[in-house]
Amino acid sequence: MSLPIEPVIQYLHALAVAVLLGKVVLLSFVVAPILAKNLEREPFGKVVRRLFPAYYALGDGRGCGGIVVCDRPRSHSCAQSFIAGLRRDVAGDPGD
């Protein structure tokens, strides 16, 4: 009996991207503006200094998770596909 691993890998990759995007949007457009409006400069700095290590650890963890999930043998790695897509975008080529 073989396990259907491809859907699991796709889900984990999508989850990693969603967490990365979600944390950026949440901090940039929700948390930071609320804190900036309601705290003075020094307390705001203290909160941000406490918040940023967890923020970056979450990003690092999800980024590494996405790379690990994506970095498996196939005809092209995810990084190669991403770079090829960027090249097409820059060149204005719509691709396939």
Residue-wise pLDDT tens digits, 15-74: 877 888 888 889 889 999 999 999 999 999 999 889 888 888 877 776 666 666 555 555
Q: Give CB contacts under 8 A, 24+ apart, made by 68-73.
A: 69/9, 69/12, 69/13, 69/16, 70/9, 70/13, 72/9
Say if pTM beats, i.e. exceeds, 0.75.
no
The whole-angstrom separation of Cα 79 and Cα 83 is 6
Residue 16 lies in a domain: yes
Using DSSP's 3-state secondary structure scheme, residue 40 falls into coil
Residue 65 lies in a domain: yes
Residue 27 lies in a domain: yes
- Map tokens 């980024």 to a residue: 63
Q: Give residue 9's pLDDT.
A: 74
Q: What's the structural domain count of the chain?
A: 1
Residue 1 has pLDDT above 50, yes or no: no
Four-residue CA torsion sign, 78, 80, 81, 87: positive
Q: Name the residue range of residue 31's domain.
A: 5-91
Residue 96 lies in a domain: no
Amino acid at 3: L
